């Protein structure tokens, strides 16, 4: 896992304290340099830069799918697929919408803004049971979509649907 910057500084302080107790005092800078080398870095400056970057946490990527019609998007993603709107934004009334939708742990951004996403994008969405998902959305029905289930998909059973804008969503079991 590795050390954080705070853990490295604490290790340097512990080293100083232990050496001072043994009547071998060293300065803080020297302790930081020693800890740096123990962690595999050439010096404290390098360690500090690398340990700070390790502290940066990133989250899951959120795909942006391009939509051209808000009403069609709501009908497909909310009513048919069962997503819910987390938030939505417009710079002004009658300008393109940007919205974030969620279902379980799946988060997707939908955008009417030119340049956000390219129609025809494919998206893999993990599900615990493709058969249950297929049954659920088939029960709702959609005037343009007839979902099928591929039980021999490369990642396991998969339900593939295309949104009204040409984006393909594959709801599949497995990683």
Q: In what order do the strands lie in the sheet with 64-66?
A: 64-66, 106-111, 98-103, 84-89
Choose among 159, 157, 161, 160: nearest CA to 173.
Answer: 157
Q: According to the model, what pLDDT value does residue 54 have?
A: 57
Residues 94 and 134 in one domain: yes
Residues 69 and 46 in one domain: no
Residues 50 and 68 in one domain: no
Q: What pLDDT tens digit does each residue of the chain (175 aa) get?
A: 477 888 888 989 999 999 999 998 898 899 989 989 998 899 989 888 888 765 567 788 999 999 999 999 999 999 999 999 999 999 999 899 999 999 999 999 999 999 898 888 999 999 999 999 999 998 888 888 888 888 877 778 999 999 999 999 999 987 6
- The CA distance from 32 to 44, in Å, is 6
- The CA distance from 110 to 70, in Å, is 9
Residues 14 and 90 in one domain: no
Residues 115 and 51 in one domain: no
Residues 40 and 70 in one domain: no
Q: According to the model, what pLDDT value does residue 143 have?
A: 83
Residues 133 and 157 in one domain: yes
Residues 47 and 73 in one domain: no
Q: According to the model, what pLDDT value does residue 120 have?
A: 87
Q: According to the model, what pLDDT value does residue 1 have?
A: 45
> What's the start-to-end Cα distance of the chain, in Å?
23
Residue burial 104-133, b: 16+ Cβ < 10 Å; e: rest: eebbbbbbbeeeebeeebeeebbbeebeeb
> What domain count does the chain have?
2
Q: According to the model, what pLDDT value does residue 4 have?
A: 80
Residues 123 and 163 in one domain: yes
Own/partner pairs, 99-102, CB within 8 angstroms, 24+ separation: 99/73, 100/62, 101/77
Taking the whole predicted model, whether its pTM rises above 0.85 is answered as no
Domain that holds residue 45: 5-55
Provide the CATH number for the domain around residue 114: 3.10.180.10
Residues 151 and 114 in one domain: yes
Residues 82 and 154 in one domain: yes
- The CA distance from 130 to 147, in Å, is 11
Residues 37 and 112 in one domain: no
DSSP lists the bridge partners of residue 126 as 172
């Amino acid at each position: 896992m590795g050390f954080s910057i705070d853990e490295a500084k604490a290790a340097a302080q512990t080293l100083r304290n232990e050496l001072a107790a043994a009547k071998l005092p060293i300065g803080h800078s020297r302790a930081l340099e020693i800890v740096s080398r123990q962690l595999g870095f050439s010096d404290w400056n390098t360690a500090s830069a690398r340990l700070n970057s390790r502290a940066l946490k990133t989250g899951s990527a959120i795909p942006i799918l391009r939509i051209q019609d808000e009403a069609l998007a709501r009908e497909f993603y909310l009513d048919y697929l069962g997503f819910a709107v987390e938030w939505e934004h417009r710079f002004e009334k009658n300008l393109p919408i940007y919205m974030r939708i969620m279902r379980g742990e799946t988060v997707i951004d939908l955008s009417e803004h030119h340049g956000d996403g390219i129609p025809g994008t494919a998206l893999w969405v993990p599900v615990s049971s493709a058969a249950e998902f297929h049954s659920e959305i088939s029960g709702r029905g959609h005037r343009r979509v007839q979902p099928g289930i591929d039980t021999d998909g490369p990642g396991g059973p998969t339900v593939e649907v295309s949104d009204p804008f040409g984006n393909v969503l594959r709801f599949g079991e497995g990683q």
